[in-house]
Structure 1
Amino acid sequence: MLRVEELRITQGDFALSAAFEVLRGRRVAVIGPSGAGKSTLLNALGGYIDIAAGRIEVDGQDVTNAPPDRRGIAMLFQDGNLFPHLTLAQNVGLGIRPALRLSEAETDRVMDALGRVGLRDFADRKPGDVSGGQQSRAALARVLVQAKPLLLLDEPFAALGPALRAEMLDLTSEVARDAGATVLMITHAPEDAERSADDLIFVDGGRAEAPRPVAEVMANPPEALRAYLGR
């Protein structure tokens, strides 16, 4: 479970507040206008930016002041963060040990993760030698090998075409479901939320609303969300 208690984030003149719970295994779309604070929210949950107040719990553990690698959280950023001079296997291995001194068992975990996303035969290739979709799969494999209970997605597939983006969202959902992980994913596309999420968090006006079932929200969106969706 993810529990966010009276969270407040301030950056200059910008402020965002949030208070909600997400049950383990739920897939949650985070949606809202550009600049509303969606990425700010996920970065705060992941420990990449400071918060002004509040408390963050992951599976009952207070991680409010914990560093990113001690939060039980894995984050997939917009650019995938693959290192061009490393092979796909090495990039995935960074999810286990930044120094890449892997044991035989850990190397097997890397290969298993690459196999899970269909890249076992591309392990020795570098990011520049594979397609954008394959790069996205490698980034997902690096998240998978970390085996964290909470996965945060900051629009990592936004640059992909509609068909490939849908494929990656389906693969992410499948991987998360198999691992029993909770997913929070930012998207600007309502169809992605309807396709891949159980619940929806709407961020606007300085607040991240509590999650509600996607079908329920889309069937009768509040006025601010209706305006965002252009309905």
Structure 2
Amino acid sequence: MLDSLREKGLVLDGVCIRLGGRVLVSLTRAVAPGEVLTVMGPSGAGKSTLLAYIGGFLDRAFTGEGRVLIDGEDIAGQPAETRRAGILFQDPLLFPHMSVAGNLLFAIPEAVTGRDERRARAEEALAGVGLAGMGGRDPATLSGGQRARVALARVLLSGPRMLLLDEPFSKLDQELRQQTRELVFAKARESRLPVLLVTHDPADAKAAGGDVITIEA
């Protein structure tokens, strides 16, 4: 049992994921608010499957067990929509039929009422990622780096309790990759979010700081 089964942060307690009788991932680790735990390994090693278990969308081909605690609450048995896991994938997955602002407004919780308040929050989020005044743009007209920033702003607006990163920098060129890494990790620290990053790129792990776990194929 971890000494760090504390009130704040993400704790993976005896998490084990299997495919058939084969163990893919077995992990007990804590991630404090604002810190990053990096899980490295080649494609097919089970990195994304670990995120799926934490986020609540594990494919039925796999079996998972173990506690997932966020701020002291075990969410392992909850449906995905109540876990409040903010997730960034390799692709930004912006809604193509919505403007940039529309994408952000979609993510704001329904508890935030009032059109002006919701729009103000979206505009503030855009400014926070260096895209002030771009709410009216079509996502298709944005660069890859800009789309990644909109995806980050959208995730943060949803009010997540943790941030799960599934190789979100891998499709950016080298310069944009470094800029986007710095922004994502800075925003996570600013928002006091525990972060779990899965990657095969050692440069991602170096930029993230924090502990690194390597799993084999």
The match for 2:50 is 41
Is the 1:58–1:72 Cα contact (8 Å) retained in structure 2? no
Q: Distance in 1 between matches of 2:163 and 2:19?
A: 24
The match for 1:226 is none
The match for 1:65 is 77
Is the 2:16–2:64 Cα contact (8 Å) retained in structure 1? yes
Equivalent positions of 1:34-183 (< 5 A) are 34-49=43-58, 51-97=63-109, 103-183=115-195
Give the TM-score normalised by the residue count of structure 2. Answer: 0.86
Letter in 2 for 1:28: L
Match of 1:3 among 5, 11, 34: 11
Q: What is the aligned residue count?
A: 204
1:188 aligns with 2:193: no
Structure 2 SS opposite 1:135: helix
Q: Distance in 1 between matches of 2:58 and 2:17?
A: 9
Letter in 1 for 2:78: A
Of 187-196 and 159-168, the range deviating more from structure 2: 187-196
| Cα deviation 1:168-213 (Å, max 9, x = unaligned) | 00001111111111111122211221122222122226xxxxxxxx
Give the TM-score normalised by the residue count of structure 1. Answer: 0.81
**How many Å apart are 1:102 and its aligned residue?**
6.1
The match for 2:3 is none
Q: Distance in 1 between matches of 2:139 and 2:104?
A: 11
**How many Å apart are 1:93 and its aligned residue?**
1.8
Letter in 2 for 1:8: C
Letter in 2 for 1:133: G
Q: Distance in 2 between matches of 1:133 and 1:156?
A: 11
Which runs of 5 or more structure 1 residues have no equivalent in the other structure?
Answer: 206-231
**How many Å apart are 1:56 and its aligned residue?**
0.9
Q: Distance in 2 between matches of 1:84 and 1:13?
A: 41
Letter in 1 for 2:23: A
Q: Percent identity?
A: 40
**How many Å apart are 1:70 and its aligned residue?**
1.5
CA separation of 1:128 and 1:102: change in aligned 2, threshold 3 A: farther
Is the 1:137–1:168 Cα contact (8 Å) retained in structure 2? yes
Is the 1:24–1:180 Cα contact (8 Å) retained in structure 2? yes
The match for 2:37 is 28
Q: Distance in 1 between matches of 2:42 and 2:72?
A: 31
